Each structure stands twice: as structure tokens, then as C-alpha cells.
Amino acid sequence: MSKPTDLVQGTLDLLLLKILALGPLHGWAISLRLGTISGDVLQVSEGSLYPALHKLEQEGWIEAEWKQTENNRRAKFYSLTRLGRKELESEKANWQRLSSAISHVVQLAEA
Amino acid sequence: MKIEHWWYTAPLRLKSIFGRRRADDELDEEMQFHLDHKIEQGIAEGLSPEEARYRALRAIGGLDQKKEEMRDARRVHWLTDFVDDVRYAVRSLRRTPGLTALVVVTIALGIGMTATPLSMLDALVFRPYPVPHPGDVVTLVSTSRDNGFEKFSYREYLDIRDRTKSYDGVVANGNLTTVGFSAEREATPLVRGGMLVSGNYFRALGVEPQLGRGFRQDEDEAPGRDAVVVLSWDFWMREFAGHPSAVGRVVRLNGRDFTIIGVLPEAFTGLYVFDRPDFYMPLAMERFFSAGSQKDFFTDRDDRVLTLRARLAPGVTLRGAQNELAVVARDFERAYPKLNRERGAAVRTMFQMRTQDSDANWKFGVIFTTLALVVLLVACTNAAGLLLSRARTRTREIAIRLAIGAGRSRLIRLLLTESLVLALLGGLGGIAIGYLGIRFMQAFSIPAELPVRIPFRMDGRILLASFALSVLSALLCGLAPAMQSTRADLVRGLKSAEGDEPAGRKRLWGRNALVVAQVAMSLMLLAATFLMIRGFQHSIGDGPGYSTDHILMVRFDPRLVQYDATQTARFYEQLAERARETPGIVSAGYTQNPPRGLGQFDHVAFVPEAFQMPRDRESFASSMDTVDQGYFETMGVPILRGRGFRASDTATSPRVAVVNEQFAKHYWPGADALGKRLRLDGADGEPVEIVGIARTIKYSSGPATSADDFLYLPLAQHPIARMILLLKSSEDPLQLIQPVQDAVRSLDANMPILETRTYEDLYRYSTVEGPGVGVRLVGTLGAVGLLLAIAGLYGLVAYNVSRRTREIGIRIAIGARPRDVIRLIMGKGLLLVAVGTVIGLAMGIGLERLMNSMLFNAGGVDFVVYLTIVPAMLLVTILAAYLPARKATRIPPTLALRCE
């Protein structure tokens, strides 16, 4: 299985925080959502999703709660904490800085 | 931010530690949930259930690895791993009980041997003063050319107290003195220890009385006015059974009424290591407790008897305080050029005070502790050796672990946990051994007038130190084996079962170093033991040079019953007369302090007449004793030339002195000292004629071997209140106690007899029993060290034999003779022993230098010691190597060949 685009180190965190900022989700839903919103451009290996979620939880950025799903199964729902919201803001700012810098560089090279 | 972070994460960590199983279950459930959905998705896409399941698992990419990764994300895995490791370690250690026991005992011996000297060293040097913020308390000392730790006079104290600004209070205290104490007016006084302290003493040190109050400043102002006393907690418990009504009671101290105003807390035991005052009196009451010096405490600026302590004010550095005090000292020198010539002052820390060069106790502490740490090192190397051979039998297990993906550092941690468990078990045993050792030290009694409390104890500090040493030993003895066994060659480790292992050079190097170190260290320990014994023997020399038997010592202090100088002189004169008339008494004499007694000799400053003084010196100083005409005969100190003191040397006759031979040779080399004169207390002092020269004997009780200058002054011309009556008897000296008591009672029924003891007891203590403790301690250390080293060497050779069983078998099969086998096996061991011996010799000689410079004042190398221990050591180690080697010769070749 070839990976179309390797995620830049640390961007997975940003993506996860962003997705959870829209509302609490369980792991499976997150993996589906990742595929849809990035238009399948960004493929996150399912293997690395859960360790990443756990890391965010241990950092205190997201918290987990066991709830019933629509088809009546118990699932672990993740949601953003206040700390996580702050982290998302600063990550977003970082990302924008970085991406604008990179696109600037890329355009230079074309000229 | 920080706090909020913890708010979210702390419960998670706790959950990961305590709800470990549940967290793992949840992990399973979460993954299962994901997988189920993935499989459903696959089936919906038209895959068969198996295919869907396979795809789902592959997408996750190793379920167990991911779970492990998530557990690691919890950041407590080090702890949970540790718990697992401990559990595993205990299980695996239980499987080899013999070896485990051996290692535990070895480490227990090492730690136990260290705990006792550590408790000594702690009590003598490191234990802080029992006051709040003990680190701020410093000692102010007066310094002269010869001594950097002198005291101050009362006048100097007042000046320093009032003129310095670096301190939150400067306090003063006198020496611990014997005081006649009676709880009731009519009771016979008991001898107790009292200390004069300044009015601000407890306040400035931060000691809050547990009962009643401390001194007020005004109670220490008018000499002789305020007869108040503060009791120590111990004394209050002993004499008043801890009854609160003691405060306010009137007791008699040295025959005078004093009111008890307070009781100190239990924790405050004074600022001295050995001296524990029973009660404290204000300095202003000095006249009732004076040592009968000819100087006046309150007015004479050179009556330096006070120890000054001060609490550094916040923000003041030691250096700042030092500079300020130096200025005060220079002012003193300018204002009182005669009394303070070349006299400075210094601020000393507790550490400096307790490690004075003149004090032998702490040096013993240092030497014992060093030797004990060496024993601990030997024990650790031994344990390391044992663990190494254990590791070998586990090569396969470790290889498998490595093969299935265990990280090397993780394995090292596992093995270190094992040695930690071993070391902690050993540490527990060691604490028990150390406890016994300290009990042994505490049980030791010192023939002093006031009971001496041995301050060594097993307290939290020593427990903590022992625990730290255990952890350190775990690292020391576990690290090398752990590193080595995890470096194992996988393929070979998996292939070979238990048999031969590749004899890589690197691999054996560590073991060889262990043996060399052990031999060297135990040789050094043995050398220390023998040097100690020889040193003390030396200090006894060719016998005392005077008689030690058939002498009874009886101590008096007539000031306890309010005698003045005239009454005291008459009492001593009459008592000696009566004693000489008593049948059974051969002779009687007085001394202030018998040779090798526990007391300090007084020092006297003098100027030899017609002696060219060095330009930078005002006077010389010498130890001295005040004796009477009967002393030399009673003590058996021969007068070599001239005469001893006579009854005709009275207070009004020309003043005379007797010096020892050493003194005479020192100041009049090649000339006759007889008839020469000295001026005492400086160039304008009274002239004293030397009328006799006595044989040089050893006076001090310490281990130093050099003889000192010594001066005797007659009691009649140099009256002292506290004296010891020496009685030489023809029979058992203890039979004289009754006649002496009768004689004293007939002179004054109230006169307390402070101490009665045979001189032999004292002499035995200071030459045999006291040093015996040291010799026994070092001897135990040496014996344990040697034992461990022998066991280590034996173990190593035996290990080599077992490792080379097959090789030896083949050699025997193709015709090697037993002699060849022994040479093969022992050759290496003996080479190691030889190297160890050489290193040990070098270390021993280094240690000898240290001991000589610290304790015995002797130079040179004691060859007898090395000529004794080196052959003994070689013999024992050869034996330790020979036994397993001989076993090797009995290996039947068939067994060896079938070994694989």
C-alpha cells in the first residue's frame, strides 16, 4: 500500500484537534472523517490514529468518554478540552505561518 | 497553564497506574470497536468475512504493537514496568535460593559494616546542632600562633557581643563542669554536670523551654545576684521523674540555693558531641562554679574560658562576619597589647569545629568509614561476580528475549531490578547488623567522672544512608553483569545450551579486574588492621615508665562545700597526713590529672630565663600538672636528677618546679637545666627555679607516640581546688576505700568524694580497652573483607573450571597430567593475585601514611606488618585457587566429552 502523501510531522495532531473541534467523535468516525474531509488526499494509517489519540489525551488536550453509539454499542468518544482548544489555536497559527512560508518558497523556485 | 495541565493529566496518570487492568480492557474494547466497523465495511464492499477481517487487521498494522505504543503514551510505563520487573525478579531469584542468599548475605555484610562507622562519623562530624536553622550557628574563636581554636574571656565576650552587627545574637558558654547537686537542703551532694551560659543563650539559639521559661537578660547582669537554673529534659526526667512541679523548686548547687525556672525540650541536648549538661546557670553566677583559677572571670581580659557561638544574621556571609570580627580582634590587640599580642579571631563553622586537628575521634571515624566503604566495595565486587556467573546460565533466556524483540536497555533495566531487589534485601540485613554494631558501641563505658553519653545511634539519617548505599551497590554489582549478558551473541547464545561460551578477551577482563580489586582491597584492610594494632602497641611503648598497679584515685572538690583557698589547702594537707598514717598505705600524693587520664592537662605559658627567645615569640607553652611532695613516689615517676618537691616548698618559700627530661633537653640542649629559672605567664612573671628533672613519661591518652614537654608545679605554691588523691597500697587498693572515707569523714562529714577508681582501671581503659574498640572494629572489617575476597577468588576459579570442563576433559583424555591441569587453572588466578597484591601493597602504604599523619605521629613504613600479611594473604589465596583446581583434575574425560 503506497501512501499518497506522508503527513508532515505533527500535522496529524492538528488535523485531529480540528476534527474534534467540530464535535465529539469516536475513533472509527474520526478515521472516516479524516478520509472525507481531506478528499482522500491525506491518508492516515489506522494504526497510527489510535496512538496519536492516546497521546493527545495524555497531554490533556482531548478527553474521552464512553457513550452509546446510534446503533447501541459502547464506544469511546473523544472531545476537545479547554487546553486542547488553546493548543489548536496555536497549532493553527503555526501551520499558517509555515505553509505560507513554504508556498512562498515554492513559487520562487518556479520563477 | 501548568496547573490546568495537571488538572487534566493527573487523574489520567493515576488511572493508568491504579486502574491498569481496566485501562487495558478499554483499549481492547476500543480497538475491537474499530475492527468491527472496518470488517462490516469490508463485507459491505463485497469481501468475504475472512478477507474483511484480514484487511482490517492489516490496516491497523500489528494490533499488539499498537496497544503497547498506546500504553507507553500513558507515561507511567516506567512504573508499571518496574512493578512487573520486581515481580519477575522475585520469581526468578526464588528459583536460585542458594545464590540469592549468598548475594544477600554478602551485601548485608557490606552495608552492615558501613552503618556503624557511618553513625560514628555522623555523630562526630555531620549531625547538625539540635536547634532551629542549625546551619546559621557559627563559633567564634580566638586565635594565637599555636592554636586556632582558643576561647574568649568574659570581657572580650561583652565587647564582641556589643560591637558586631553580623549576628542575630552572640552567646557564650563555659565548659561542662562538675557541680554538687542536691534536691534537698540536707542531702549529700551528688556530682552532676552543669554549664554556665549567657542570658541570651536559649533565646538566640532558638530553644524554647518546654516548661517554665529560659533566662531573662537581666538575670545575667549582676554577678552572684540571680540564682536561677534551667534543667535539661533528661535530667528533669531522671531527678524529678518529669514532674511539672519541679519548676519553681529550690535546689542546692555547690551548696547554694538555686531556683529552677524552666526545663528544656527533649530535643535540645546541647551543642557538643559528647558533653550533655544536666542543667544551665547564668554566667553571672560564675563565682559559685569557678575552677579556682587565679584570674578573675569578670574582670581579667585574659581569663579565656568561654566558648562563643553566634547566629549569622540573614544575608550576612561567613566572609563578611569574619572580616568584621578580624577588625574587633585588631582593636583588642591595639587596646591591650600585652594581653592580646598576636591574637586574632575567626569565625568557624560547625564542620571546622568538629574536625579540629587535635581531636583524634573524628579521624578514627573517617578511617573506619573509609575502610568500611572498602569492605562494601569488596562485597559489591563479590556480588557482581556471583551475578555474572548467574547471568551466564541465563545466556539462552536473554538471547531469546533479545531475539523476540526486547530492547537492550529494557533488558538491562530488568537485570538491574533484580540486583536492586537483592541489594535492598541485603540492605535490610545490613541495617540489622549495623544496629547490633551501634549497640555494641553504645554499651561501651568510659571511666569518666560524669557519665559520657555515646552519641552514636541508628537514626533516620543512617537508615537513609544505608538505603542509598544499597541502591548504589545494586548499580555497582548489577550493571557490569547486565551490560555483559545483554551483549551476548544471539546466534551462539541460542545455539549452545549451557556449555562453553566463547572466551572473549573483553568478557573476561571484567572478572579479572574484580579479582585484582578484591585481593588489593582486602590486603589493604588487613594492613590497616595490623597497623592499627601496631600503632597502639607502639604508643604503649616499653611500658608506662611508672607504676600503674596498687594505686587508688580519690577525687575531691572542696568548693562544693564552700571551702575557700585556705580551707582547701588545710584540708588536703591534713588528709594526706592521715592517709600516710593509715596502715596499708605505702605513700600518698596529689595530682590534678593522672598520666593518660581522661582530663586535659592545663597549659602554662613561660619564658626560660637567659634564653634567646625567637624574635616573633613572647613565650612558650607546655602541658603541666600540679602535684605535691608525695606524687613522684606514689606514681613511681623517677626523679633522675635534683629533687622532687618537699614539705619545705611552701607558699612563702622560693618558687620551684620540676620538669621532665624532654623539657630540659628541649630548652637547654647540652647544658644542665638544674638550677635554671623560668618565668611563668610571660616575661614579667614570677621566677621559678627548676629543682628536679623527672623521667619523661607519656601523659596524654591519645594514640600519639611522641613525648611532650612537661612541667610540674607544687600544690602548695600553685593551689588548685579540684585534686585527686593518689594512694599506693601494699594490698588490693580497693580495700583502702573504707579507711579513706573514714579519714575524710573525720575531717569534714559533708565533704563529697567525687570519684573513686583504681588507676589500673583508667590505665587499662586508655591503653587497652579504648584502643581495643578501634582494633576490634578495624579487625572485623579486615576479617570480613578477607573472607569475602577468598570467597570471590574461590568462586572465580571454580567458575573457570566449570566453564572449561570440556576442554579440561579433552586435555586429560589426550594425556595431560594433574599437575598440568592445576597449572592451567591456577596460573591465571595466581597472576591476578600477584597483581592485586602489588596494588594492595601500594594502597596499604598510602593508607599507612594517612594513619601515621592523622593518628600516630610516626613516619616510615612498618615492614613487619607487610612481612606478616603478604605471605599470609598469598597462602590463603593460593589455597582458594587450589581447591577448585584440584577438583578439575578429577574430571573424568568421558563425562567431559559427553558434555555436549
Interface contact A51-B73, CB threshold 8 A: yes
Place of cell 496519536: A52
Write out chain A residues lying below 8 Å of B75, CB-based.
58
Query: Is residue B561 scored above 90 in pLDDT?
Result: no
The confidence score (pLDDT) of residue A110 equals 57
CA nearest to B9 within chain A:
A60
Write out chain A residues lying below 8 Å of B64, CB-based.
none
User: Side-chain half-sphere of B397: how many Cα atoms within 13 Å?
Assistant: 9
The confidence score (pLDDT) of residue B857 equals 58
Alpha-carbon span B579 to B740, nearest angstrom = 7
Q: What nine digits make up the cell of B358?
A: 587535635
Q: What are phi and psi of A102, to 5 degrees?
A: -70, -45
Name the pLDDT band for B499 (thresholds 50, 70, 90): very low
Question: Taking a C-beta distance cutoff of 8 angstroms, is the pair B724, B591 a contact?
Answer: yes
Name the pLDDT band for B813 (thresholds 50, 70, 90): confident
Domain that holds residue A46: 11-110
Write out chain B residues lying below 8 Å of A57, CB-based.
12, 73
Which amino acid would we find at residue A50? Y
Name the pLDDT band for A40 (thresholds 50, 70, 90): low
Probe site for chain B from A28, A82, A89 (most B CB atoms < 10 A): A28
Interface contact B59-A47, CB threshold 8 A: yes
Task: Provide the number of structural domains found in chain A.
Answer: 1
* Residue percentage of chain B with pLDDT more than 70: 91
Alpha-carbon span B206 to B200, nearest angstrom = 10
Q: Pick from A47, A57, A73: which is nearest to B33 by CB?
A: A73
Write out chain A residues lying below 8 Å of B12, CB-based.
57-58, 60
Burial class (CB in 10 A: 0-12, 13-18, 19+), B452: middle
Question: Taking a C-beta distance cutoff of 8 angstroms, is the pair B592, B574 a contact?
Answer: no
Interface contact A60-B5, CB threshold 8 A: yes
Write out chain A residues lying below 8 Å of B61, CB-based.
45-47
More confident residue, A61 or B900: A61
Burial class (CB in 10 A: 0-12, 13-18, 19+), B868: middle
The confidence score (pLDDT) of residue B294 equals 66
CA nearest to B15 within chain A:
A58
- Positions of E strands within B592-706: 602-608, 620-627, 639-642, 656-660, 677-680, 687-694
pTM of the model: 0.72
B150: left (phi over 0), alpha (psi -120 to 50) or beta: beta
Interface contact A54-B74, CB threshold 8 A: yes
More confident residue, B700 or B725: B725
Question: What tens digit of pLDDT does each residue of B219-259 get?
Answer: 998 888 899 999 999 999 999 999 999 999 999 888 789 99
The nearest CA of chain B is from the CA of A34 a distance in Å of 14
Mean pLDDT rounded to a whole number for chain B: 83
Judge whether B66 is closer than 8 Å to chain A, CB to CB. yes
* Mean pLDDT, range B89-107, rounded to an integer: 85
Q: Pick from A46, A54, A60: which is nearest to B8 by CB?
A: A60
The confidence score (pLDDT) of residue B702 equals 61
Alpha-carbon span B672 to B681, nearest angstrom = 23
Write out chain A residues lying below 8 Å of B37, CB-based.
28
**Contacts of range B460-468, beta carbons closer than 8 Å, 24 or more positions apart:** B461/B122, B461/B126, B461/B127, B462/B115, B462/B118, B462/B119, B462/B122, B462/B434, B463/B431, B465/B115, B465/B118, B465/B122, B466/B111, B466/B114, B466/B115, B466/B118, B466/B427, B466/B430, B466/B431, B466/B434, B467/B424, B467/B427
The confidence score (pLDDT) of residue B570 equals 92
Q: What nine digits make up the cell of B515?
A: 579479582
Count of residues in chain A: 111
The confidence score (pLDDT) of residue B323 equals 93
Which amino acid would we find at residue B154? Y
**From residue B779, how far is each of B372, B426, B457, B772, B836 by CA, in Å?**
11, 22, 21, 10, 20
Probe site for chain A from B37, B64, B78 (most A CB atoms < 10 A): B37
* Mean pLDDT, range A95-103, rounded to an integer: 86
Alpha-carbon span B100 to B419, nearest angstrom = 10
* Mean pLDDT, range B251-278, rounded to an integer: 90
Question: What tens digit of pLDDT does each residue of B763-777 get?
Answer: 887 777 777 777 777
Q: Pick from B4, B26, B37: which is nearest to A76 by CB?
A: B26
Any domain includes A4:
no
The CATH number for A26's domain is: 1.10.10.10
Interface contact B4-A58, CB threshold 8 A: no
Question: Taking a C-beta distance cutoff of 8 angstroms, is the pair B149, B356 a contact?
Answer: yes
Which amino acid would we find at residue B594? P
Alpha-carbon span B143 to B149, nearest angstrom = 6
Query: Is residue B572 scored above 90 in pLDDT?
Result: yes
Query: Is residue B108 scored above 50 in pLDDT?
Result: yes
Alpha-carbon span B700 to B603, nearest angstrom = 13
Q: Give Cβ neighbours of residue B38 (< 8 Å, ≥ 6 apart).
A: A28, A46, B52, B55, B56, B59
Query: Is residue B185 scored above 60 in pLDDT?
Result: yes
Name the pLDDT band for B309 (thresholds 50, 70, 90): very high
The confidence score (pLDDT) of residue B856 equals 65
Place of cell 546551619: B135
Q: Pick from A28, A45, A81: which is nearest to B8 by CB?
A: A81
* Mean pLDDT, range B633-658, rounded to an integer: 91
Q: In chain A, positions 41-100, which contact chain B (CB-CB < 8 Å)?
A: 45-47, 50-51, 54-55, 57-60, 63, 66, 73-76, 81-83
- Closest listed residue to residue B333, CA positions, set B118, B142, B188: B142
The nearest CA of chain A is from the CA of B441 a distance in Å of 55
CA nearest to A73 within chain B:
B33
Question: What tens digit of pLDDT does each residue of B42-86 get?
Answer: 888 888 888 888 888 887 777 777 777 777 766 666 777 788 888
The nearest CA of chain A is from the CA of B16 a distance in Å of 10
Judge whether B74 is closer than 8 Å to chain A, CB to CB. yes
CA nearest to B76 within chain A:
A58
Question: What tens digit of pLDDT does each residue of B25-39 get?
Answer: 888 888 888 888 888
The confidence score (pLDDT) of residue A4 equals 41
B220-224, B674-678, B824-828: which has the minimum mean pLDDT?
B824-828
The nearest CA of chain A is from the CA of B52 a distance in Å of 15
* Mean pLDDT, range A72-80, rounded to an integer: 85
Alpha-carbon span B843 to B378, nearest angstrom = 15
Q: What nine digits make up the cell of B302?
A: 585574659
What ipTM did this prediction achieve?
A: 0.80
* Residue percentage of chain B with pLDDT more than 90: 24
Alpha-carbon span B438 to B142, nearest angstrom = 36
B21-30, B360-369, B499-508: which has the minimum mean pLDDT?
B499-508
* Mean pLDDT, range B681-708, rounded to an integer: 78
User: Side-chain half-sphere of B868: how many Cα atoms within 13 Å?
Assistant: 12
Write out chain B residues lying below 8 Å of A76, CB-based.
26, 29-30, 33
Q: Give CA torsion, residues B334, B338, B341, B345, to 10 deg.
A: -70
CA nearest to A80 within chain B:
B8
Q: Give Cβ neighbours of residue B197 (< 8 Å, ≥ 6 apart).
A: B171, B172, B173, B174, B215, B280, B281, B282, B283
Query: Is residue B307 scored above 90 in pLDDT?
Result: yes
Q: Residue B256 pairs with which residues in a beta bridge? A: B253
The confidence score (pLDDT) of residue B161 equals 93
Probe site for chain B from A58, A61, A65 (most B CB atoms < 10 A): A58
Any domain includes A1:
no
Which three-class secondary structure string do you get for B801-827? HHHCHHHHHHHHHCCCCHHHHHHHHHH
A41-55, B674-688, B779-793: which has the minimum mean pLDDT?
A41-55
| Best-predicted range by mean pLDDT (B82-91, B108-117, B181-190, B390-399) | B108-117
Query: Is residue B500 scored above 50 in pLDDT?
Result: no
The confidence score (pLDDT) of residue A2 equals 38
Probe site for chain B from A3, A32, A36, A50 (most B CB atoms < 10 A): A50
The nearest CA of chain B is from the CA of A105 a distance in Å of 35
* Mean pLDDT, range B641-657, rounded to an integer: 91
Judge whether B75 is closer than 8 Å to chain A, CB to CB. yes
Q: What nine digits make up the cell of B230?
A: 534551667
Concatenate the DSSP letters of all residues of B497-551 into one string.
Answer: -SS-----HHHHHHHHHHHHHHHHHHHHHHHHHHHHHHHHHHHH-S--SS--SSE
Name the pLDDT band for A41 (thresholds 50, 70, 90): low
Write out chain A residues lying below 8 Å of B74, CB-based.
54, 58
Write out chain A residues lying below 8 Å of B73, CB-based.
51, 54-55, 57-58
Name the pLDDT band for B876 (thresholds 50, 70, 90): confident
Q: Label residues B711-722 b or e (16+ Cβ within 10 Å = b).
A: bbbbbbbbbbbb
The confidence score (pLDDT) of residue B280 equals 96
Query: Is residue A71 scored above 70 in pLDDT?
Result: yes
Any domain includes A68:
yes
- Positions of E strands within B264-369: 279-282, 307-312, 344-348
